[in-house]
A = this chain, B = another copy of it.
Amino acid sequence: MAWWKVSSAGKDVNPDLASERTFPSFNVETLTNILDGGVEETRHRRSVVSTIQKDPVFSLENLYFKTRAERYEGAVRNIFHLKRKMKELGWEDNGKEMEYAYRALSGEHALNIHNVFLRSLTALGTDEQIAKWLPLANNYQILGTYAQTELGHGTYLRGLETTATFDPATQEFIIDTPKITATKWWPGDLGKTSTHALVLAQLHSKGKNYGMHPFIVPIRCLKDHSPLPGITVGDIGPKMSFEQIDNGYLMMRNIRIPKENMLSRFSEVLPDGSYVKRGSDKINYFTMIAVRVSMIRGEVVEALMKACTIAVRYSAVRRQSELKPGAQEAKILDYQTQQQKLLPLLATCYSIHFMAKYLNDFYNKVFKEIRKEDFNSLAELHAVVSGLKAFATEICSNGVEVCRKACGGHGYSLYSGIPSIYTKVVASCTYEGENTVLHLQAARFLIKCFGAAQSGKPLPGTTSYLSTRLSGGCQANTHLDFLNPDVYIKAYESRAYSSIAAAASKLHRLVQSGAEQYEAWNSTSVELVKASIAHIHYIIVKTFVSTLSSLSAPPEIKTVLQRLCDLYALHGIFTSAGDFLQHGYMTGKQLDLATTAYLVLLAELRKDAVLLVDAFDFTDQQLISALGTYDGNVYHNLLEWAQRNPDNKKVSPVFEKYLKPYLQSNQSKL
């Protein structure tokens, strides 16, 4: 077959990619097992992924050519098909299989927020309420959404304006959108799908506002799906990504719902309108933490892992310019500047992965404590999760863009797969808590701990280092000293300590000189965000080091992981050098040594780069990338995809309407 009639990618692996795998310095499969948490987990994950990918209904082919309407329809089709399939195969709701299946679908499924509706119902409803609504929702006889955010209000829940006013005469709540800014805005599945909304509203009874409470409000007719009287509902329109999701808006004009529709596990309105609170709802607060923990692993690091896989493989295939005069054009991965873009990100994938694992264990520990009514560790967990969510979403989404740009022009094509990864993952900087807000929450905890340390009080584990400032400066004398984890951990510790101490001292100074507490806080917030970043960065480095020291793995795997850990730590010193120098812990000369060590590591890790992304074990179907396939046949893929583009088969009306009159005038000169 002539080369220009590309009908399917070649079966052979591109020799430039094959050569990267010829003499592996470690066993990739073993590393995959470590990432998965065991051989059995790898097997299980692969079996689910393969079940999904073998099913033609779930095909993601031609995704980049689809309209929003087609993507939405596909996402709905997928979730209903998956529901049936799960039943057939005996996969449990919310089990491991479902997690793997969702990941295999790359987010192309609807009813995510229906699941949030389910979770919230279970958490906030009484046993009777759960008994009534849960089976209906589980069987898709009703479809729910979770309507909290409003057009004019996000993070600050007390600012929400939707009202639920109790009417004792009819034993109903009147749900109302009193102003344009109170319009519910953003809930997923709301735009075109849901029949019921779990509405968060200010509860008014007997003239008093009791704050935010959850209410189940029917919004669409179950017979014909039309909006119920008093309801205005629709899709909020196109976003940067998530074309398949119908985020919606909702206005309710004095809708009446029965009293029983207020979810009442933690509080209730009695028939006479009096308000009763019961138990602690701290557990809800815990749900939010759970969501953040799972998103870091499930969406955020995975996005960067995919982008690294694509960019690293492409960089081993793409050749450009002479590196050595007269030689063949070099693989772009051989350029130091390309290594500097990609390898620290690869190290970031591993570091955040291990950090997320640590956090998951921490979470499970606190979960057990909470069930015994022990809330001691909750504030600490909340602070670490907030800081990590903000840190990881920022670093991973920026990293995905770096990977994309590192693929040059082809990175800009949707076929590279990276634009879609970026425009999706970057949303995580904003949802589930805006990053700056989260850093400031984490900082509040750190300032509190710092104050406690000053008064000699004991500190929780992650902040215990605040009890004593490290004495002396960095001890490194040669660049090799920077490959000693103890050396860089101390540098990170010192940076975190100094940043927190500086912010605390500025706060103190401002209040001493007469500023109100809130003014002082606002005037210090730039430094407070820096302090939170320095703290979480330190925890991540420390966690990577301690994970490796307790890891049982073959020595060659330990070696490569240690290099990644070193690279991660030294790259952080290189890029945030000011923080390490400012308070005098390190000297400019030591920074030079750290830089040398860092650049040497780039060259060392370069040879393992392809293996290290192979270990993430993404299938080609998961990557949806012409540049990132396992076989490295990138140019065949690009051309094949372009030729497959349905747009190339349609006749554009442009020729007849606009071009023809010009092109066909006065052609004698040609």
Contacts and interface: CB of A to CB of B under 8 A. Distances in A.
A411 B431 CA distance: 12
A625 interface: no
A196 to B, nearest CB: 10
A391 interface: no
A653 interface: yes
B665 A337 contact: no
A422 to B, nearest CB: 8
A658 B64 contact: no
Contacts of A658: 76-77, 80
Interface stretch (A268-276, A297-305, A374-382, A515-523): A515-523
B431 A238 contact: no
Contacts of A577: 577-579, 581-582
B670 A222 contact: yes
Contacts of A135: 669
Interface in A498-549: 516, 518-519, 522-526, 529
Contacts of A588: 581-584
Interface in A142-182: 142-143, 149, 151-156, 159, 177, 179-181
Contact of A430 (B251, B408, B579, B665): B408
A434 interface: yes
Given A179-B3, A518-B325, A240 B414 contact: yes
A599 B639 contact: no
Nearest to A75: B654
A223 B337 contact: no
Contacts of A348: none
5 contacts: A136-B670, A139-B666, A185-B638, A225-B659, A337-B436
Interface string A568-597: 000000001111111110001001100000
B427 A526 contact: no
Nearest to A585: B588
A286 interface: no
A41 interface: no
Contacts of A518: 323-325
Contacts of A665: 139, 141
B222 A667 contact: yes
Interface stretch (A66-74, A359-367, A444-452): A66-74
A107 interface: no
Interface string A643-670: 1010110101111011110111111011
Interface stretch (A89-97, A205-213, A228-236, A557-565): A228-236
A618 interface: no
Interface in A376-425: 401, 405, 408-409, 411-415, 419, 423
Interface string A192-234: 1101000000000000000000000000001111000000101
Interface string A267-291: 0000000000000000000000000
A336 B523 contact: yes
A72 B290 CA distance: 45
Given A4-B251, A223-B664, A662-B141, A234 B156 contact: no
Contacts of A185: 638
A155 B64 CA distance: 27
Contact of A645 (B159, B234, B578, B669): B234
Contact of A139 (B4, B222, B636, B662): B662
Nearest to A431: B409
Given A156-B321, A582-B591, 7 more contacts: A139-B666, A222-B670, A225-B655, A405-B430, A577-B582, A578-B579, A582-B592
A329 interface: yes
A522 B335 contact: yes
Contacts of A401: 426
B415 A430 contact: no
B143 A663 contact: yes
A39 interface: no
Contacts of A253: 4
A473 B378 CA distance: 49
A239 B159 CA distance: 39
A179 B636 CA distance: 11
Nearest to A159: B329
Given A408-B434, A663-B140, A669-B136, A64 B337 contact: no
A642 B141 contact: no
A69 B523 CA distance: 50
B654 A73 contact: yes
A238 B65 contact: yes
A148 to B, nearest CB: 12
B639 A183 contact: yes
B414 A239 contact: yes
A237 B415 contact: yes
A17 to B, nearest CB: 15
A154 B670 contact: no
Contacts of A336: 522-526
A140 B662 contact: yes
A6 interface: yes
A440 interface: yes
B409 A154 contact: yes
Given A136-B669, A431-B409, A581-B581, A72 B643 contact: no
A321 B155 contact: yes
Contacts of A129: none
A635 B237 contact: no
A641 interface: yes
A249 interface: yes
A666 B139 CA distance: 10
Nearest to A643: B234
A35 to B, nearest CB: 29
A635 B320 contact: no
Interface in A234-273: 234-240, 249, 251, 253
Given A142-B670, A155-B320, A658-B80, A234 B405 contact: no
Contacts of A249: 639, 642
A119 interface: no
B154 A222 contact: no
A336 B660 CA distance: 58
A668 B250 CA distance: 27
Contact of A408 (B6, B154, B318, B426): B154
